[in-house]
Structure 1
Amino acid sequence: MPEGHSVHRIARQFDRNFVGRTVSASSPQGRFAEGAALLSGREATAARAVGKQMFLAFEDDLWLRVHLGLYGAWDFAGEILVDPTIASANGRMGQTNQRGTDLAPILDDAGENSLSSIGAPRRTRVHVRMSEQTQGLGEDGDEWPPPVVGQVRLRLLTETTCADLRGPTACVLQTPDEVAATIAKLGPDPLVDDPAEGEERFTAVVRRKPTSIALLLMDQSVVGGIGNVYRAELLFRARLNPHTPGREVPEEIVRQIWRDWVRLLAIGVETGQMMTMDDLDPAAYRLAMANRDDRHWVYRRAGLPCRVCGTAIVLEELAARKLYWCPRCQA
């Protein structure tokens, strides 16, 4: 499931490529035909992400809410105006060393940082042309608009850019009041809420819950945007047993987890990848950014030795999701 950093990157992409433009909407699959008909011909006016949910505003106070869930993804084609602070012109989101050392772009075949498809890993067949200035479409025999591939729930199309939505858990139209009600049910998001206020909200909720901290971190009403990867990595970085009830976690550790999430989310949005290891030299950093297996402490390392103590990393199932942790470092 795409985690918070991906959803924020998607919203930023929509802000640069769709906001301020009239959008043609359709539902090739047919499951969102009525909603697409209401959107078509309207100007997109805003794009925002909160936790794992994205909201696109259109004229006349009409909002589109999208939750990608486990299988959803946005595929982009055409002229893609990229954010120069987080993207490179080689067809992939760019990376910047979290310690400030600029490195050449690194390609990642895991799909985390792909500009052409953000969401569930997939091989995209749509063509992406990245540009900071508008250029003519149809060059080199490109077909425009691109052909529909697979089960597309919603296609949003401007004169130059196409976005196809596949496999979302939620794709619904909402009024402003309904959007506000949806957001009110979500926990704090470091990129939306004031970080200090978010820390207080998060700490207060966790400290009164008997639920395990591992489950609380995945509860979007407790904190926005954390998924399976960030959950495992945050708990390891805090050296915290995932089964500890929230109310038994020392307050300073709860606050440490929030502040760590603020930092890791910012890195994820900047790089497009869930980079959770610190203090790597340039060579190790490039290796980690290019290979998912080299950028995490415990996630997807079941049976492998802990990078700190050498104990085999444990994999167990918790609420139908995989949980990775070190039984020694997190005892």
Structure 2
Amino acid sequence: MPEGHVIHRLARDLNSAFTQTTPQVSSPQGRFATEAAQLDQQTFIGADAHGKHLFITFDHPLQIHIHLGLIGKFHLSEPKDPTPTTRLRIANDHTTADLIGPQWCRLITEDARAHTLAKLGADPLREDADPEWVWTRVHRSNRTIGSLLMDQKLFAGVGNIYRAEPLFRLGISPFLPGKQLSRPLFDALWTDLTELMADGVTKGRIDTIRPEHTPEAMGRPPRKDDHGGEVYVYRRAGQPCHVCGTPIEHQVMEGRNLFWCPGCQR
């Protein structure tokens, strides 16, 4: 599932391409055709991301709410013919944005949007995020920090990679109960999340390796993985840690794959 930096990057690119234009809105697949017709040729006001949720607003009482889910894709490109599976297309003379396979693509009211946002936690990529609110809940919890980081009601937009990598970078065991996490470590964790995720928005990929551990610095081959990017522990089970050489461990935590280094994250 795409993590929050992907959705923020999409919002940025959609705003750049369509803000204050009157694009064509359609549903080549047909499943969103009635809804798309209501927005066709309406002024594009803006796209906004909160966690893994994308909201697209036009000069219309209703707005589009998108959640990509596990297989959804939203691609911007130069004008081209849509595929038969394109659920939503937003297009002008210069750009087409095609949505394929989302978990959700629906028209909602402003009240429905507020209801959705009320269920989400603080998004490290948003200026209105309140880490103090998150800290009070983490500090009271018996749940592990590895579990808490994946809770969208606390850390909106954080997924498996942004759970594993900051914990490694700060030497925090994913099994540490939230109430045992010190305030300085929580602050460092929040800062690392905001910086790594912002870097992901800029680059369009997740790189978490410090300069001294890059392939060039260490004389090692670059990582080969569908997810791309240089990382410390994510999807590196059994491989030696770049820092201490201990084999990276893996287990399933609450249905999701967890990766950590038992040497560096005691």
- Verify same fold: TM over 0.5: yes
CA distance in 2, matches of 1:227, 1:44: 30
The residue that corresponds to 1:255 in the other structure is: 187
The residue that corresponds to 1:204 in the other structure is: 136
Q: Identify if the C-alpha distance between structure 1 residues 281 and 232 changes in structure 2 by more than 3 Å, giving closer, same or farther.
A: closer
Contact 2:28-2:83 within 8 A present in 1 as well = no
State the AA in 2 paired with 1:255: D
Contact 1:153-1:167 within 8 A present in 2 as well = yes
State the AA in 2 paired with 1:188: A
State the AA in 2 paired with 1:158: N
Question: What is the CA deviation profile of residues 57-114 of structure 1, one whole-angstrom value per residue up to 9, with x for unaligned ones?
Answer: 1112321111111111112221xxxxxxxxxxxxxxxxxxxxxxxxxxxxxxxxxxxx
Residue number among 102, 120, 138 corresponding to 1:168 in the alignment? 102
Instruction: Give the % identical residues.
Output: 41
Matching of residue 326 in structure 1 with residue 261 in structure 2: yes
State the 1:245 CA deviation. 2.0
State the AA in 2 paired with 1:151: T
Q: Identify if the C-alpha distance between structure 1 residues 215 and 170 changes in structure 2 by more than 3 Å, giving closer, same or farther.
A: same
State the 1:299 CA deviation. 0.7
State the AA in 2 paired with 1:6: V
Matching of residue 302 in structure 1 with residue 237 in structure 2: yes
Q: Identify if the C-alpha distance between structure 1 residues 205 and 288 changes in structure 2 by more than 3 Å, giving closer, same or farther.
A: farther
State the AA in 1 paired with 2:49: A
Q: Which has the higher contact order (CA 8 A, sep 6+)?
A: 1
CA distance in 2, matches of 1:26, 1:15: 18
Which segments of 5 or more consecutive residues in structure 2 lack a partner in the other structure? Answer: none
Contact 1:293-1:300 within 8 A present in 2 as well = no
SS where residue 234 of structure 2 aligns?
coil
CA distance in 2, matches of 1:282, 1:324: 19
Matching of residue 240 in structure 1 with residue 177 in structure 2: no
The residue that corresponds to 2:75 in the other structure is: 75
Contact 2:27-2:36 within 8 A present in 1 as well = yes
The residue that corresponds to 1:65 in the other structure is: 65
CA distance in 2, matches of 1:199, 1:8: 19
Q: Identify if the C-alpha distance between structure 1 residues 160 and 289 changes in structure 2 by more than 3 Å, giving closer, same or farther.
A: farther
State the AA in 2 paired with 1:276: T
Contact 2:4-2:156 within 8 A present in 1 as well = yes
The residue that corresponds to 1:279 in the other structure is: 211
The residue that corresponds to 2:31 in the other structure is: 31
> Where does 1:101-140 land on structure 2 (aligned, <5 Å)?
none
CA distance in 1, matches of 2:196, 2:212: 15
Number of positions where the alignment pairs a residue of Structure 1 with one of Structure 2? 262
Contact 1:202-1:258 within 8 A present in 2 as well = no
Contact 2:235-2:259 within 8 A present in 1 as well = yes
The residue that corresponds to 2:120 in the other structure is: 186
